[in-house]
Every structure is written in structure tokens, then in C-alpha cells.
Chains A and B, each alone.
Chain A
Amino acid sequence: MTPPEAINLTINGEALSLPPRPGRRLSHALREDAGLRGTKVGCDAGDCGACTVLMDGDPVCACLTPLIQASNRSVTTVEGLSSETLSPLQEAFLRHGAAQCGICTPGMLMAAAALLDTVAQPSRTQVEDALGGVLCRCTGYQKIVDAVLSVGTPSEKPATPDAGRAVGARIERLDGTRKVDGSEVFGADFWPQDAWLVRAIRSPHHQATFTFGDIDTWVGTHPGVESVLTAADIPGTNRFGVIPPLADQPGLAESRVHFRGEAIAVIAGAADAVEALDLSDFPVNWSPATEVLTTEQALDAALIHPSRPGNILINGRVATGDPDTALAGSAHVVEASIETGFVEHAYIEPEAGAAWMDGDMLVIQACTQAPVMDRDDIAVMMNLDADKVRIMPAAAGGGFGSKLDLSLQPLIALVALKTGKPCRMVYSRGESMASTTKRHPGAMTARIGSDADGRITGMTFHGDFNTGPYASWGPTVATRVPVHASGPYRTPHYRATTRAIHTNGPVAGAFRGFGVPQAAILQETLYDELANAGGMDRLEFRKRNALHDGERTVCGQTLHGVGIAECLEALEPRWHAAAAEIRAFNKGSAVRKRGMGVASCWYGCGNTALPNPSTVRLGFCADGRLKLHQGATDIGQGSNTVITQICADALGLPIDAFELIGPDTALTPDCGKTSASRQTYVTGKAAERAGQALRAQILRLSNKGNDAKLRLDGHNVLVDDGQTTQSISLAALPVDEFGYALSVEETYDPPTTPLDEDGQGVPYAVYGYGAQLAEVEVDLALGTVRVVAVTAAHDLGRVINPLLAEGQIEGGIAQGLGLALMEEFIPGASENLHDYLIPTIGDMPAIRSILIEKPDPEGPMGAKGLGEHVLIPTAPAILNAIHHACGARITKVPALPHRVLAAIRQAGESA
């Protein structure tokens, strides 16, 4: 029983001796001691499976395996799957778009490898059973299953499209290889040598005041602790926020906390010592106060911010016509209220990053969706000039809106700046869930009327949104919702009002759709009621009211390139076929009943009525290398690939000629934040302009017309107009300030106008549209719901990359399904991934995507945004399908089995 001197094991075929720490998590030993950081850690609890490795061929969670149990055994990690070339499984993941952000990919690959080792040609069910222990938040799992199923049948790698043919091509993501071979560098995967570890002290209370005890004595009795920093150490303004005039959130709370999980101090020191600390004896005295968690209570409660009466952060309003009179004169009027809860982003990568000083430059390499906003906020907080802060975004293991806000950046920045030491921090799952933003809960009421012909006459809407204690994106939600709450339908008389209200809940921020998914649940379920009231087919009713080109929105904006009618029409064949199948099924089934539902979406791309530019730089080096400064942070959605495709066709060279420079604030101009479904449209348009501008320079230099074809030959650009070929020697040209022989920089800012007090104006220059048809099966005795199929028609204007577009749709549907059926974050009660449930591989329906191309006159090559649109229709389509199946009307999501059963019984009583 003497402790061993070393623990010997075989990793990826090589014998290895690791330090004798028998009780260390194998995941930690692999990453910290063996230097194998391809194994990812998402929860440290066996809930997500990201850390799956094989032990003697069997998949286990490395986070749950004490190192000693791996001794004298053979461990295989993602690094062991490939040698010189990728394995067929990894190739299949690339080919099928099975990796988006890539954080779950190593775990998925290992689970799949174990299956394929025992079953060469597995069935879909076998794949689902084998991969059921790994969560993915991006893909919706369909492409992962398809990839695993395809391994037995090798396919040719598709050829890179010729110059000018990149847009529309189903190409693999350009950054895909490093996501499937384990070499991608996420926030937790890089740190300078001997970097200190940073941990935060956080509030266990929803609301409290606090004072510190004797910190110096505490430090003295805790070896390894080198530094403890509090709000008093923050050199600049201790406030941050994504909307600078409303910045109200402290990096470290000063004397009062307003939500559970709010940080009050950071501790830094040698990694192993700080990691092992029990922080429960940290000297802080809490005086808890009564918390206010609902908007209803908050209106009359003590003010969180004295300048915001009633705890109201902001009001939103869009009004046109005379909705009250219109409703009074309507043939049919329906009214309902719906409540939604906090929803957690549940990306598999908890926040992580490192910070260090490079001379007088503060450098932060962390997960983010908004590098330039991070830089500017950190500069204010650290009292530095913005050019003394460099943000080097790490790969983001999912974001979905939450990584737009600062999380750990101020904490590690403070340690690096104050101590001069490099440092790193990795949030625990619980810390991530407690302290970062959520989707706003909505308490919404609406009335909608129609005439005898089923045409919408008018609508009123009010929504109160629980925005938590700090502003974050609350104003955006309050502004976006009234613009969108009509849905993509002609609504002549309309009044929608919103309030974002402060509470002591978690900070509610941006989450894929900014409140629009919540509002769509109410509007689209009411549309079903209204169609039923008028005895109309529910799809036909929507078609009749769909907006068309040249018609005006509730903001008075005249739209062009409106594809909603086309989306609804594309669903018609399945709508009719499903109706017949469901009738037949229900005839033979007493306890399980099927139903179908449809819902639409529209969504404006980019900031609401505010400037929102992207700038793209593109240049040829003297040696012929072509560099695209692609500043749109790719959080898995694919902008690295899509922006390059657009730029390549605008320039006229194939995509493999491009080298990408990422959104490092020291290297790349600002492409804004990855939010609001704006990158394909806004940065894409800037990239199109940059490609065109560089092409124009080349044509000018070669004196050729626009039909000429470009080719690269070493450091020469060859320009061929079919008659002669002109060669431009890049090596012979002078080099500019950025090191380029030829370069361009182009900016695009969407043409919007401010909204007046009735919300009238042009809030967005481009909208995207979609409609989804959900088919469900309800167990009438248990209230359980299984989504059987979803048919999703989305108008992308121009499909830049069908493979990635489908991936967005499938992933959005997974999140919409979670919103509808299982996801609700309860502060203090579901801060882990076994009490907070997101869909697993076994919860997903068969998804069929229909890509519609109704070109937008403003978007690059006609393209529109897609990323958020895709989850908006899913939840209402599912709720409508539940109602169709069993008559149950759900008024509070998620539709957990007990809520569905109660609604079924209620429907039975009132019938």
C-alpha cells in the first residue's frame, strides 16, 4: 500500500510515467501533466461526456476516473485517433459538418471510435446509444450521427471549387481539421508557463451586503496564495456593460451583491496550490437581504439602481394604426398569456482564458464573441488606453450570446496587471451557470384579431422581461421584441410594449434571438387559436397573412426580398402528407396521439437602428500569400468559412488561396460582435467589397476588364482576359504599413434609421425568414412529448454554404426543442448539467431542411442572416403540435411532463 513513485500507463500507444497523484482526475492529469489538451472538460461531473477517453478500449469520462485506476492500462485520447493523416472517422466528421464549435468533438469521436471498434456498420439506434453520453449544443446531433453511419462507406473528398464558384458550394469548414484532431485551442487550452491560477470568491446569496475580514492573515495561513484582489484594486472605472452608456456591472462587487454567483474577490497563486484551496474559510461577512426574483415583485421592491424607478431598466414600444378599434371590430379575437423561464446557454465550454503582460500591453486570450468590445471595456476598467489592451480570442466552445458579455476577462486582467504575472482561469460548470447571462424570462400577454376572411386586423402585445440586476442586453431585448412580435405577417394596427425589469435573478443577456423566440411562442400559438376560431387551415391562415415584397412592417418599413410566403409554401407537401399520416396513426393509438404544428419567424440582422459596421482587410504579401483579416469571431457557426467563400468569389480566386488572420485586436480590424445574425450579412458584405476592391486594383494594374480571370503563380498574380495574360509581380511592389504589396480595407455599415417614439423607422436593413413544421407524439397518460420530425424551410437569400446552413438549422432546432420541452434555469437549484437538461442525441427528431433563396437587395450576393432565425419557430411549432395532438394548451414553458399532463386534464375538463 506504499504510494507509488510514479503512475505508469500507456497513452496512445506510448508508455508514460506521470507524477504519483492517484486521486487526480485523469482528465486533469492528461491535460496538465501529459500535455494532451485535446481531451476537453465541460462539467467535471459526467454530465456532458466531453472528456470521454478510451480505457482498454472502453469509453469512460476522464473527469470521473482517478489517475491510479488508469495505471498499467491503455488510454486512448483524441490525439491517438490520427497519425500522419486523419482517421476515416475524423474525415467523416469533417465531411458531414459534424463539428461546429468543436468542444464536444473529441468526446463524440472517442465514443464513436469505441462503437466502431466493436460494430463496423452500426444502426442509427446503436449510434445514438453509444453517443448518448456526450452532449452537443451546436449541431443538433444529426450530422454527427450521419458522420458515424458513413464511416463504413468511404466517399471522395469533394474538390475545392474553382475560382468564382465558392459561394453556394457545400464545402467543409476551413477551420475543421483542428476541431477533429484535438489541436484547436479553446480558452482553457493555452497558458503561459507557470501561469498563476485565478479563482473567484462569489456570493452564495441572491442579494446581500458584505465586508471583508482579515485577508492578510488568511493569505498567511494559506500557502501558495500569492495575491488577493478586490474591487479596491481595480484601477479604472469598476463598471462594465455591452451598452456603454448603461454600463452598470462591477467586475468585482464593492460592498453589495445583487445576484447569486456575483464575484467579490479573486485569489491567485501557483496553480496546484490554488486549485486545491478550500475557499469556504475566506474572510468575508455576509448580511443577506431578501431577494426579489420575479418582475412582478420587482416593480414595488427596493431599487437595485437608484436611477431606475420601479426597477425598470427600459421600456420598448412599437405602435401603428388603432389596434383597440381594430380588435373591437374584428370577427375573431383571441387572447392569451405565456410565461417563459431563464434559459441557460449551456455551451459545453465553461468560460476560460489566460492573461499576461507583454511589455506594457495587457494581453487576454479567452473565449469571446466580441473582441473589440472586450478590449474597450477592459481598457476602461483597467485605466489603460485601448491600444494597450490586446484581445486574442481563443476558439469559443459555443457562445450563443453569452460570450458577448465579459465574464472572466476583468478578473484575469486585474491579476495580470496588478501582479505582472501571467495567469489563467477556468470556470467550473457551476460557476459558469451561476454567474453568466441567461435568456430573459418573459411574462407576455397578447390579443390578436382577424376578419371573417382570416386576415389579421390588429394586435396588442405586452411583455415584461426579467433582466436580472444589470443591464447587459436587456435594452436590446426590450427594443427587439416589439419590432418582431407581429411575426412576419401583415398587421395593420399594432401596439407592442415591453419592459426590462431588474431583479436579483441571474443577469439576463443575449441568447440567440434576443427575446424574439419568447414572443414568437405567444404570437404563433395565438395564430393557431385564431385560425381555428375562423375554421381555417393553420398553414393557409399564415400564408394568407404573410408579408410580401413592397409591404410595410409594423415599424412602417417597406420590405424587399421577403421570403416568408415561399417558406410556408415549401412546407405544404409535408403538411398535407403529415396530416394524413397523423389521422391514420391516431386511429390506431389510444394512449399515444400525434399532432403537427407550424410556426414562422422573421428576424432583423444586426443592431436595431444603430450603427453596426464591419471592416475587412485583404492583402497580398510580396511572396504571393493572400491574407484575409477575418474579424468575425467564429464560435462554431462558420464565419471563417462563409466570409472566405464570399470574399473569394468577389476577388475571383479559389478559397485555398486564402490564409485567414483571426479577430486578434492587434492584427485585424473590427468586424463587430458575433451576434444578431449579422456576420454573414454585415462582415460578408465588407468582405465582398474588399474582394471587389482588391480585384479592381489588380485589374487596374493589369489594364484588364472585369471579365478577366485571376491566377496565382508564386509571387505573381496572373490576369488573363482570354486574349493575353498579364503578370503582376508582387515582389516588385512597395510594401505598405501592414506589410502588404497590395491591400484593401473595406467597411460596411447597414443602412438603418433611428426609430421614433412609436418605433417607426428602419430598424434593420436585412431580415431573414423561415417556417417550421413540427410533428410530435404525446403520451396522454404520462404527458411526455416526443418530437418525431421537423421540416424547416428557411429563406437565406443566397445560400453561401448549404452544409453549414443545415448545421445552423439543426442546431437551432435542438435549442428550440429544449426551450419548448425541458430547459429552465432555477437560480441556486439547477447549476449543473444533470438538473438543467438540454436535449441529448436521443431527443432529436428527424430534421429536413429546405433552403429557400429569395435574394435580398442589400445582402452580399443576396444573402441574409440565419443563425438566430432557426430556433425561433421551433418552440411554438412544437406547442402547436402538442395542442393539435391532444388539445392541451401550454401556458408556461418548458412543457415538462407534469405541465403537459395537467394541461391535458384541463383540456379534458373544459371539453
Chain B
Amino acid sequence: MGYVRPTSLTDALTCLAGNDMRVAAGCTDLFPATGHQHLAGNILDITALSALRGITNDSDHLRIGATTTWSDIVQADLPQGFHQLQQAAREVGSIQIQNAATIGGNLCNASPAADGVPPLLALDALVELSSLTGTRTLPLAQFITGPRETGLASGELLTALLIPQQSTRGRSVFLKLGARRYLVISIAMIAARLVETDGQISDAAIAVGSCSAVATRLKAVENELIGQVPSPDLVHRISDGSIRQHLAPITDTRADAPYRNIAAAELVRRALGQLLADHQQEAA
């Protein structure tokens, strides 16, 4: 097959069915993985599928096409629940990377340090997987199964992310910790979204990246928050244990595992502190 760049989804899926194709979009992970000056083998370039790029709304979901770039997300007019995703988008590599790299590629590459995953987890994102035989959706948490491992079946293409309208509510924040300012792979990162209804926290979504094989939601912390009256003091009531029970950090060149546990807890408190302080300012 070589390098193909179809313009219709059907052509793309036909090509994918029965062929061993590497799907290419922004190529910001594919090119660094080769020492060569070209992408070798069978490549299915999906960037000419115009239907796959962009953000649309329907009554159930906000839909982000798989080849929507991080710059597209930065520039989009999105509800406050997406603030975390837009902040994360600005932290993906550099502007050069953000102009090319796609949200679908970030998920399919399935790096434990993927900047897009924690905020999308905190948005309850679903992935839309298309093949010649049809389309299925899968919660993101089930799609990424391990470092560099996904639930993508043979012949399937990740075509979109779906955010339930319900989950676009609330205020959100993303924090990334690295050893330098730009172009950095995170030591730890946090995405958090809080929804307040009638003076109480009605929904909380907190996700941590780079501190476990797959980025993960902190259900125990979320449960501690739901039903509480929002106040900055709340952050002090969250125990380290309720954060750490979800984490399994490793030691690598960027940081050791004990540090990641400490840093993740600190970042969780800072992220929630920001959201709760914002709340207080808004209330005042």
C-alpha cells in the first residue's frame, strides 16, 4: 500500500480493513520513533478526511474530531469545563507541536505522560471507534489499557471523542509539573473539574497523569468532595492516602516514585484550592 491519504472515511476504513496500516495524523509521535527521513511501511494518513477535524455539538455530546489539533482546541470557544483541556493543550510540546499534533493521536499513542488524557478523563470522554462494520463507543478509561496499549481493534479507526453534555459543566483546571518550562514531559499532572449545584459540590472529576501506567481518576477523592459545601478549607480534609491509593508511580530519570506520590498530592490540593478559591471569589 505504501503511503495513502484518502479523502473519504469509507476509503480510509476500507484501506484499514484487511491491511496492516499505521495510522498517521500529526506525525509528532511517528517521526520521532523512526531514525529515518521518511515514514516507512504502510501508512494511512487521515489528515485529508475533513470530517474528522473540528468541534461540534449535539444534544447529547460535544464531539471533537480525532484530527482536531491542540491549537484548534486552544482557539475554540468552549465551556468552562474544558478549561483544563485548553490549558493542557498549551502544554503539549511547543506551539509547533500543537499546530500539528492531534487529540486522537495523543490517545492512540497511549503514553502514560500524554497531556491530553487527564483532562479528557475528567471530562468523562468516550472514544468513537469506526470500522467498515460499524461504530462503537468506549469510555476513555477503558480504551487506554496500558502504556502504549489501547483497545483499538483491527480495522478500527478512532474517529472522534465524545464528551457527554452533562460532563461539560463546572469549572476546571490543569496543572503540569516538569523540570523545565517548555517542551517538557511531565513528572506529574492533574486535571480537575468541580460542579456546584445549590451550594454543594454535585460532581467532582479529578485525574492524575504520569503517576501510574495509565492516567487515572481519583474516585476516593471525588467521593470525599461530592456533597460538601465548597470552601478552600476542603483541600486540607483530603488525605494523602485517598490520593495515593490510585497511584502506582515509577522511578525514572525525571523523578523518583516517592516524590511523584508527594507531588501528585500537592498538585491535587493546589488544583482544588484554585477551583475552590475561584468559587469563593465568584460567590463574593
Question: Is the beta-carbon distance between B100 and A68 smaller than 8 angstroms?
Answer: no
Q: Mark A10-36, 1 if CB is under 8 A from B, else 0.
A: 000000000001111100100000000
Point out the residues of chain A lying under 8 angstroms from B183, CB to CB.
47, 49, 132-133, 135, 834, 840
A428 within 8 A of partner (CB): yes
In the bound complex, residues from chain A placing their C-beta under 8 Å from that of B15 are 1
Could you say which residues of chain B place their CB within 8 Å of the CB of A133?
Answer: 93-97, 182-183
Task: Verify A841–B185 contact, CB threshold 8 A.
Answer: no
| B78 CB–A CB distance under 8 Å | no
Give chain A residues whose Cβ lies under 8 Å from the Cβ of B38: 21, 23-25, 28, 66, 276
Among A331-339, A819-827, A846-854, the one that faces the other chain is: A819-827
- In the complex, how many angstroms separate the beta carbon of A617 from the nearest chain B beta carbon? 42
Asked whether A59 lies within 8 Å of B95 as measured between CB atoms, the reply is yes
Most chain A Cβ neighbours within 10 Å, of B3, B32, B95: B95
Q: Is A46 touching B31 in the complex (CB atoms < 8 A)?
A: yes
- Residue B181 contacts which of A59, A66, A840 (CB distance < 8 angstroms)? A840
A898 touches B95 (CB 8 A): no
Given known contacts A59-B99, A276-B40, A898-B259, A66 and B27 CB-to-CB distance under 8 angstroms: yes
Task: Decide: A782 near B263, CB < 8 A? Known: A25-B38, A826-B253.
Answer: yes
* Nearest neighbor of B6 in chain A, beta-carbon distance: A1
Instruction: Report, as a range, how many residues of chain A touch the other chain.
Output: 35 or more
Assess A841 versus B182: contact at CB under 8 Å? Given A22-B5, A46-B96, A430-B35: yes
Count the A-B residue pairs with Cβ separation under 8 angstroms: how many?
161
With A130-B95, A275-B36, A276-B36 given, is the CB distance from A44 to B180 under 8 Å? no
- Which chain B residues lie closer than 8 Å to A843 at the CB level? 180-181
CB distance from A711 to the nearest CB of B (A): 51
Complex Cα–Cα for A642 and B275 (A): 55
| Contact status B95-A64, CB under 8 Å | no
Closest chain A residue, CB of each to CB of B98 = A133
| In-complex Cβ contact of B253 among A275, A430, A829 (8 A) | A829
A276 CB contacts on chain B under 8 angstroms: 36-38, 40
| Complex Cα–Cα for A128 and B45 (A) | 33
Q: Does B86 contact A (CB under 8 A)?
A: no
State in angstroms the CA–CA spacing of A593 and B134 once bound together. 57
Q: Residue-by-residue, is B253-268 near A (CB-CB < 8 Å gives 1, otherwise 0)?
A: 1111011001100110
Q: Mark A804-836, 1 if CB is under 8 A from B, else 0.
A: 000000000000000001101010011010110
Inter-subunit contact A46/B94 (CB<8 Å): yes
Asked if A837 is an interface residue, CB under 8 A from chain B, the answer is yes
**In the complex, what's the smallest C-beta–C-beta distance from A845 to chain B, in angstroms?**
12
Instruction: Decide: B71 and A834 in contact? CB cutoff 8 A.
Output: no
A386 on interface, CB distance cutoff 8 Å: no
Which B residues are in CB contact (< 8 Å) with A68?
Answer: 3, 5, 45
From residue B89, how far is it (CB to closest CB) to chain A in Å?
13
Indicate if B24 sits at the interface (CB-CB under 8 A): yes
B253 touches A132 (CB 8 A): no
Contact indicator B94/A897 (Cβ below 8 Å): no
**A residues in contact with B179, CB < 8 Å:** 821-822, 837, 896-897
**Interface 1/0 per residue, A271-290 and B, CB below 8 Å:** 00001100000000000000
Q: Whole-angstrom distance between the alpha carbons of A1 and B28 in the complex?
A: 23
Chain A residues with CB below 8 A from B182, complex form: 128, 132-133, 840-842
Chain B residues contacting A22 (CB-CB under 8 Å) are: 3, 5, 45
Interface size class of B (residues with CB under 8 A): 35 or more
Q: Does A313 contact B (CB under 8 A)?
A: no
Of all chain A residues, the one with the shortest Cβ separation from B47 is: A69
CA distance A212 to B256 in the complex (A): 41
Set A23, A59, A128, A829: member contacting B3, Cβ < 8 A? A23
Across the two chains, which residue of chain A brings its CB closest to B26?
A: A64
Question: Contact between B31 and A835 (Cβ–Cβ < 8 Å)?
Answer: no
The reply to whether the CB of B277 lies closer than 8 angstroms to some CB of chain A is no
CB contacts under 8 Å to B, within A138-155, are none
Complex: chain A residue closest to B179, CB-CB: A822
Q: Is A60 an interface residue (CB 8 A)?
A: yes
- Out of A25, A49, A781, A839, which one reaches B96, CB within 8 Å? A49
Say whether B253 contacts A824, CB under 8 Å: yes
Distance between A552 CB and nearest chain B CB, rounded to angstroms: 43
Q: Does any Cβ of B come within 8 Å of A588's Cβ?
A: no
CB distance from A853 to the nearest CB of B (A): 35
Q: Is there an interface contact between B256 and A898, defined as CB atoms closer than 8 Å?
A: yes
Q: Which of B100, B177, B180, B187 contacts A64 (CB 8 A)?
A: B100
A58 in the interface (beta carbon within 8 A): yes
- Among A28, A46, A839, point to the contact of B93 (Cβ < 8 A): A46
Minimum CB–CB distance for A472 against chain B, Å: 25
Contact residues in B for A60 (Cβ distance below 8 Å): 96, 99-100
Q: Does A3 contact B (CB under 8 A)?
A: yes
A352 to chain B, nearest CB (A): 14
Q: Which residues of A contact B40 (CB under 8 A)?
A: 23, 276
Q: Name B's interface SS.
A: loop
Q: How far is the CB of B157 from chain A (nearest CB, A)?
A: 15
Which A37-71 residues have a C-beta within 8 angstroms of B?
44-47, 49, 52, 55, 58-61, 63-66, 68-69
User: In the complex, which residue of chain A has the Cβ closest to the Cβ of B251?
Assistant: A898
Give complex CA distance A44, B33 in Å: 9
B74–chain A nearest beta-carbon distance, Å: 11
Does A98 reach chain B (CB closer than 8 Å)?
Answer: no
A821 and B253 CA atoms in complex are apart in Å by: 13
Chain B residue with minimal CB distance to A51? B96
A276 and B36 CA atoms in complex are apart in Å by: 6
A89-123 to B contact mask, C-beta < 8 Å, 1/0: 00000000000000000000001001000000000
| A898 / chain B contacts, CB cutoff of 8 Å | 187, 255-256, 258-259
Q: Which residues of the other chain, B, contact A275 by a CB distance below 8 angstroms?
A: 36-37
Q: Is A897 within 8 A of B263, CB to CB?
A: yes
Give the residues from 226 to 284 in chain B that come closer than 8 angstroms, CB to CB, to chain A. 253-256, 258-259, 262-263, 266-267
Q: Is B224 an interface residue (CB 8 A)?
A: no
Contact A66-B266, Cβ < 8 Å, known A276-B36, A897-B179: no
Is B4 among interface residues, defined by CB-CB distance under 8 A?
A: yes
Query: B11 at interface (Cβ–Cβ under 8 A)?
Result: yes
Interface string of B44-63 (1 = CB under 8 A from A): 01010000000000000000
Instruction: Tell me, yes or no, whether A419 is within 8 Å of chain B by CB.
Output: no
Across-interface contacts of B18 in A (CB, < 8 A)? none
CA distance A28 to B26 in the complex (A): 17
**How many angstroms from the CA of A24 to the CA of B95 in the assembled complex?**
22
Is B185's CB under 8 angstroms from A834's CB?
yes
Within the assembled complex, what's the spacing in Å between the Cα atoms of A876 and B137?
55
Q: What residue in chain A is nearest B94 (Cβ atoms)?
A: A133
Complex Cα distance, B5 from A21, in Å, reads 12
Identify the interface centre among A23, A64, A832, A902: most chain B CB within 10 Å of its CB: A23
Q: Give which listed residue, B180, B187, B259, contacts A842 with CB less than 8 A.
A: B180
In the complex, what residues of A have CB within 8 A of residue B267's CB?
782
Contact, CB under 8 Å: B43 / A23: yes
For B32, B43, B93, the residue with the greatest tally of chain A CB atoms inside 10 Å of its CB is B32
Q: How far is the CB of B38 from chain A (nearest CB, A)?
A: 5
Instruction: Give Cα distance in the complex from A58 to B27, angstroms.
Output: 16
Nearest CB of chain B from residue A818's CB, rounded to whole Å: 9
The residue that A901 contacts in the complex, of B3, B94, B95, B262, with Cβ under 8 A, is B262
Contacts of B28 in A (CB 8 A): 46, 61, 64
A784 CB–B CB distance under 8 Å:
yes
A216 within 8 Å of B (CB atoms):
no
The answer to the question of B184 belonging to the interface, with a C-beta cut-off of 8 Å to chain A, is yes
26 A-B pairs, CB-CB below 8 angstroms?
A: A1-B11, A1-B15, A23-B3, A23-B43, A25-B31, A46-B31, A47-B183, A49-B183, A55-B99, A60-B100, A64-B28, A64-B100, A65-B100, A129-B95, A130-B95, A133-B183, A134-B94, A276-B40, A782-B267, A840-B180, A842-B180, A843-B181, A896-B179, A897-B187, A898-B255, A898-B256
Interface of A toward B, CB cutoff 8 Å: 1, 3, 21-25, 28, 44-47, 49, 52, 55, 58-61, 63-66, 68-69, 111, 114, 128-130, 132-135, 275-276, 428, 430, 781-784, 821-822, 824, 826, 829-830, 832, 834-835, 837, 839-843, 896-898, 901-902
The 4 closest A-B pairs by CB, nearest first: A133-B94, A842-B181, A132-B182, A898-B259
